[in-house]
Copies of this chain bind each other. A is one copy, B any other.
Amino acid sequence: MKIYRARHGGFCFGVKRAIKLALEAADNSHGVCSLGPLIHNRLAVDDLMKSGIRSCDEIRGLKKNEIVIIRSHGVAPDVMQRLRSKNCQIIDATCPRVRRAQRYVEKLAGEGYHVVIVGEKDHPEVKGLLGYAGKRASIYNDNERPGKKKIGVVPQTTLNQERFNRAVTDLMPDTIEMKIYNTICQETAVRINEAVKIAKKADIMIVIGGKNSANTTRLYQICRKLRRSYHIESAGELKRSWFSAVKSVGITAGASTPKQQVDDVVRKIRRMFPRS
Contact = CB atoms under 8 A, between A and B. Distances in A.
B178 A169 contact: no
For A161, A172, A181, the residue with the greatest tally of chain B CB atoms inside 10 Å of its CB is: A172
Contacts of A182: 172-173, 175-178
A168 interface: yes
A96 to B, nearest CB: 14
Interface string A170-186: 00110111111111000
A172 B178 contact: no
Copies of this chain present: 2
A164 interface: yes
Contacts of A181: 176-177
A89 interface: no
A65 interface: no
A165 interface: yes
B172 A169 contact: no
B176 A177 contact: no
Contact of A172 (B172, B175, B176, B180): B180
Interface of A: 161, 164-165, 168-169, 172-173, 175-183
